[in-house]
Amino acid sequence: MSALFEPYNLREVTIPNRVWMPPMCQYSAAPEGPLAGAPNDWHFAHYGARATGGTGLIIVEATAVSPEGRISPYDLGIWNDTQVEAFRRITRFLVAQGVVPAIQLAHGGRKSSTERPWKGGEPVGPEAHGWQPLGPSPVAFADGHPVPDELTVDQIREIVGQFVAAARRALDAGFEIAEIHGAHGYLINSFLSPHSNHRTDAYGGSYENRTRFALEVVDAVREVWPDDKPLFFRISATDWLEEGGWTPDDTVRFAGDLHARGIDLLDVSTGGNASGVRIPTGPGYQVPFAARVKAETPMPVAAVGMITDAEQAEKIVANGEADAVLLGRELLRNPSWARHAARELGDEVRVPDQYLRSV
């Protein structure tokens, strides 16, 4: 058996292989009305295709813990029971295909209330289902973006409670793993980084203060998430700034804090919190950040970033750089990537009976 197709155990959950699907927003939910934020036929077909293609773990896209926590008005949410019932259709199908269903719980913060990417991705106001964004400080993400309202301490506590309620609903919806979104410039990430967090109270300034909100969310969610089920955290390992931002050293330190609080795996990405930065992309360009966390802490990690072929993915896992790989755009291009990779590596992956004629 190749390393890529070895099962992976976390707490009492067994993931059948190390080929995982990361959260990727589809911007396809209703923006308003009784079905706002609820997954629909598009989401069912989208996730179902990757499940039948042999992916071991599917993390459903950034799912907002409140209406104002959506990145766009068309994002998924999990703030009401109608959404929970709609998610159950997806989780039932994923489980039936032998896939572990996971969900990313998120709040968009100062990057909220934007148009869908194929419509330009610019901020939108009430005339286009938008709202006023919130953030740690009144610092806009980029030129042309609104200055967010600075969260009060009471509002911060309210959002912690929203993450808790969302975690309870995620469990009710049939998800086996929850991931807290602390990356890409969204609310939790913007608290972590001094680039976006200019507060002078207990939630800003020192490393301990800037990580306070994130750790409060982790502690509160871990308390209600069952002991037998894993909890992930997604992080941007660097802002890609020469100074004044979140750094890889911060990430290593924070990974230790998260591990001590019951986070079972760090999903390591980069960037998204500072506009206009130059990111040196290339095959596997973010893998070294995950590899460093794995080498210097007890935290298991998953790696992302232009991982596209079977041999490349196999080496990442076999060499101990990461415990799993998350394939984003490659799984959009090829929902059956895992099945093809298994064949290339001389291994096996589950194929639905209906597709056996294709093997």
- All residues at 6 or more sequence positions from 254 whose CB lies less than 8 Å from its CB, including other chains: 192, 211, 214, 235
CA-CA-CA-CA torsion sign (274, 275, 279, 282): positive
Residues 6+ positions from 283 with CB-CB distance below 8 Å: 306, 307, 308, 312
Q: What does the block give as tokens for 103?
A: 């969900």
At 135, which helix (H) or strand (E)?
strand 134-135
Exposure string for 311-343, b = 16+ CB within 10 A, e = fewer? eebbebbeeebbbbbbbbebbeebbbbbbebbe
Q: By the 8 A CB rule, do 187 and 196 touch? A: no
Known catalytic membership, residue 186 = yes
Neighbouring residues of 170: CB distance < 8 A, sequence distance ≥ 6: 63, 78, 87, 103, 105, 178
What ranges in 148-211 are assigned the alpha helix state H? Answer: 153-172, 187-192, 207-210
Interhelix angle 287-296/248-260, nearest 10 degrees: 50
Based on the number of CB atoms within 10 Å of its own CB, is 184 exposed (0-12), middle (13-18) or buried (19 or more)?
Answer: buried
Question: Phi and psi dihedrals of 188, rounded to 5?
Answer: -65, -45
Which backbone phi and psi does 325 adopt, to 5 degrees? -120, 145
Catalytic hit among 8, 74, 186, 203? 186
Query: Of the candidates 277, 136, 133, which has an alpha carbon nearest to the alpha carbon of residue 205?
Result: 136
Residues with a known catalytic role: 186
